[in-house]
Amino acid sequence: MKKLQILGPGCPKCQELAKRTEEAAKAAGIEYELEKVTDLNQIMAFGVFMTPSLVVDGEVKVVGKVPSVEELKDVIA
């Protein structure tokens, strides 16, 4: 099971990244757990200073943008 974390304050772009990430995981048939991390200290612990960001199994994969569902499939696979 993949651990997917959306880093950000809950802004519209953060919500869109979460939605697209879930769509991509479902379309790719990936079992996942999605966590939304909104605490600034936790976000900074990943070394991330731009949001939204996506972390896959502890590794930062996307920073400061909202990729398409197709792009996200490749990122989380």
Contact by Cβ (8 Å): 21, 4:
yes
Catalytic residue (choose from 4, 6, 14, 43): 14
Measure the CA–CA gap between 74 and 48, rounded to whole angstroms.
21
Q: Establish whether 30 is a catalytic residue.
A: no
For residue range 58-71, list pLDDT tens digits in order. 999 999 999 999 99
CA distance readout (Å), 13 to 7, 9, 64: 11, 10, 9
Give how many domains the chain has, as a whole number: 1
Catalytic residue (choose from 3, 11, 45, 64): 11
pLDDT at 67: 98
CATH number for the domain spanning 33: value is 3.40.30.10
**Strand bridging mode 32-37 / 53-56:** unpaired
Q: Establish whether 11 is a catalytic residue.
A: yes
For residue range 10-60, list pLDDT tens digits in order. 999 999 999 999 999 999 999 999 999 999 999 999 999 999 999 999 999
Domain that holds residue 7: 2-76
Per-residue pLDDT, averaged over 1-7, amounts to 98
Measure the CA–CA gap between 15 and 48, rounded to whole angstroms.
17
